[in-house]
Amino acid sequence: VRGEEVVRKIRVSLEEPKAAVITPSFEKTNHKEIDIVGVASDKNGIARVEVSLDNGNSFNLAEGTESWKYRFDTRVIQDGTHVVFIRVFDKYETVGLYSSLVNIDNTPPSIRLELPVDGSRTGETLFVSGQTMDNIKLEEVRGKISNINPSQPAIPAALRDIPFDNELIITRGLNITSLPEGFYNMEVRGYDRAGNITRVSRNFEVYRGVDRNRIEFLYPMNGEKVQGMFNIYGRVISEDPVENLIMYIDGESVDTTQPSRSDYFEFTITPEMMVEGEHKINVQALVKGDKIIRSEDHTVIYTPNGPWVTIDNLIMGDFAVDRPWLTGSAGYAFTEEEVLSLKSKDISKDEKKKLQKKTLQKVEISFDNGKTFQKTESGKKWRYRLETGDLREGYHFMLVRAKMETGEVAVTRTIIQIDKTAPTIRLISPGEGGRYNNELVFSGLSSDDIELDSVMLSLRPGDKSRYAIPSFIQGLYLDWHFWGATLYDIGIGLTFFDDNVKLQLQFGQFTAEQRAVFTGSNMRYGGNVFGLKLLANLLYLPLDFFFGPDFSWLSATAAIGANFSVFTETQSGQPQILSAILLQLEFPRVTLAKRKTFRTFSLYTEG
């Protein structure tokens, strides 16, 4: 007997659906909005495709089925290489899971341009200096020069597109002799692999006027009356190194000198070099390449006799560092007749007294162009302490005045520079923790707000952590004292929190043999003594607060603390721990500022 047929439809899926990402490839670096495009296939058909960008924590629906696309903004994910999961469903709800990689970089390259300085002038060569880098891969660095004024001639092709060969450190001198005088823009562009672009630009001027190489005659001023001995100051500005400076008086070569490190110069004129009357002074600079720079003629009216004052140690334009003394000389230049009259016995007392009054009374210095004056330590050799800590950064213009007993006056001028800003250094390579063989290349950037003098490199063996201590530890100190509970104590300790806390381990002695030297009484505690001392400052008193910067090396402190000691010999025969609260007064406390180790010494008493 045959029963009724029963029909049931079943779905058969013999394999998972397949999916693949076509674009972007894993070699490509992406930025901003991108489309992830792919395909999917299955004999039962594709129901939907989902994409995960957070390592499978959530899935988002893509557009399409067999050919699908998912668009998203990469800026919502940090830069780097990320896994993309693709989950595909066939029409029987069978799931396939696949993965791909996507590289994201939304950070533009970093360009730090040191030269040219914005608004600078140049003639034949434009120096470009800086550093370029990218967090993933720097693809290209290029530069271009463009006109600011549209009416200027077209820029030569070689300067419209300047390849920098993907240089990490840019140091290039560009020949701009083909550019006419005028204002231009220098742009440096950096491209990374993802297509991010950074542009940095500087404006500069091409200027070839005769005054771009010049000598500035600063003192004495044109037409000034000078007497006795005086200094001539000036400044030479040249694109090429200056080999020598020659001073001419009335067309005749008189003296030579070299410019200082700050490009200023000084000549000293004595009565033997110049006769009374009006004179024309000219300074010429011999520049590399047999070029000559000439100053304008400067007129002075000279008298060989009379009051005079000079500055002897700091040339105009020098940097004043660490409270230097400004020193000089002052006096009165007598005529031959006056010298003979002083020696003569026939001269009247009134005449002799008048001549004797032609002596120095005082030397003063002004920082406000003669409105007010401050006294110096006067004499034939005078000096004045420049308190650099109280002076602002930059140029300071000073007027020095020497007064005679007769009321006659001599003046001179000078300029000093104060620089309190330390240079900055940025080490580009090698990277920290790298491994190298045979050769190690160092590169970096260094700059200063005024001018760099030198950059030094040193290599030390071992890990850098071996050369440092935790920042809250200020230093190490040694301690020795006598009397008290022991005959002597020696200790070693660390200071913390700006030297305001001290922790010290110490060892001392007061044995029976040592005690017998001083007294015959019985000993309660003694022997070898091991101790721990903890001190905290209550007061720090710098003496320069009362007596000025000359006493910056001297200070005093008061501290309170506790001492814990173990005595090995006692009346009970057992070691004993004793503790005490103590007050310590430290004075004098001498600090040698220029020393790097063991720079502070002091005497103290405590009880």
Per residue in 151-169, pLDDT tens? 888 898 888 888 887 667 8
Q: Residue 390 above 90 pLDDT?
A: no
Residues sharing a CB contact under 8 Å with residue 44, sequence separation 6 or more, in sequence order: 11, 13, 17, 90, 91, 92, 94
Asked if residue 114 belongs to a domain, the reply is yes
Phi, psi of 512 (to 5 degrees): -60, -40
Domain co-membership, 238 together with 178: no
Domain co-membership, 175 together with 223: no
Domain co-membership, 500 together with 531: yes
Domain co-membership, 95 together with 134: no
Cα gap 192→448, rounded to integer Å: 29
State the pLDDT confidence band at 213, using cuts at 50, 70 and 90: confident
What tens digit of pLDDT does each residue of 589-598 get?
Answer: 999 988 888 8
Domain carrying residue 258 = 215-304
Q: Residue 472 above 70 pLDDT?
A: no
Q: Residue 377 gets which letter from DSSP?
A: B
Q: How many CA atoms lie within 13 A of 402 on its CB side?
A: 32
**Bridge partner residues of 416 (DSSP):** 396
Cβ 360 vs Cβ 331: under 8 Å: yes
State the first-to-last Cα distance of the chain, in angstroms, to the nearest integer: 121
The structure's pTM equals 0.68
More confident residue, 184 or 521: 184
For residue 69, with 0-12 CB atoms within 10 Å meaning exposed, 13-18 middle and 19 or more buried, which class applies? middle
Structure tokens at 112: 């730090």
Domain co-membership, 574 together with 488: yes
How far is CA 199 from its chain centroid? 26
Domain endpoint, select from 158, 177, 206: 206
Structure tokens at 16: 């998972």
H or E element in which residue 385 lies: strand 381-385
Asked if residue 129 belongs to a domain, the reply is yes
Q: Which of 404, 396, 364, 399 is nearest to 383 (CA)?
A: 364
Domain endpoint, select from 366, 396, 424: 424
Asked if residue 509 belongs to a domain, the reply is yes
Phi, psi of 507 (to 5 degrees): -135, 135
Domain co-membership, 59 together with 183: no
The total domain count for the chain is 5
Q: Which of 89, 187, 87, 191 is nearest to 136 (CA)?
A: 191
Asked if residue 84 belongs to a domain, the reply is yes
Cα gap 312→63, rounded to integer Å: 86
Asked if residue 447 belongs to a domain, the reply is no
CATH of the domain at 277: 2.60.40.10
Cα gap 423→14, rounded to integer Å: 72
Asked if residue 444 belongs to a domain, the reply is no
For residue 570, with 0-12 CB atoms within 10 Å meaning exposed, 13-18 middle and 19 or more buried, which class applies? middle
Domain co-membership, 588 together with 477: yes
Domain co-membership, 337 together with 280: no
Domain co-membership, 148 together with 75: no
Asked if residue 231 belongs to a domain, the reply is yes
Give the SS3 label for residue 547.
Answer: helix
Domain co-membership, 477 together with 602: yes
**Bridge partner residues of 415 (DSSP):** 397
Q: Residue 531 above 90 pLDDT?
A: yes
Mean pLDDT of the chain: 88
H or E element in which residue 343 lies: helix 336-343
Domain co-membership, 477 together with 583: yes
Domain endpoint, select from 153, 178, 206: 206
Asked if residue 548 belongs to a domain, the reply is yes
CATH of the domain at 23: 2.60.40.650
Q: How many CA atoms lie within 13 A of 465 on its CB side?
A: 3
Domain co-membership, 202 together with 150: yes
pLDDT at 471: 63
Out of 120-124, 200-204, 458-462, 530-534, which region has the weakest mean confidence (pLDDT)?
A: 458-462
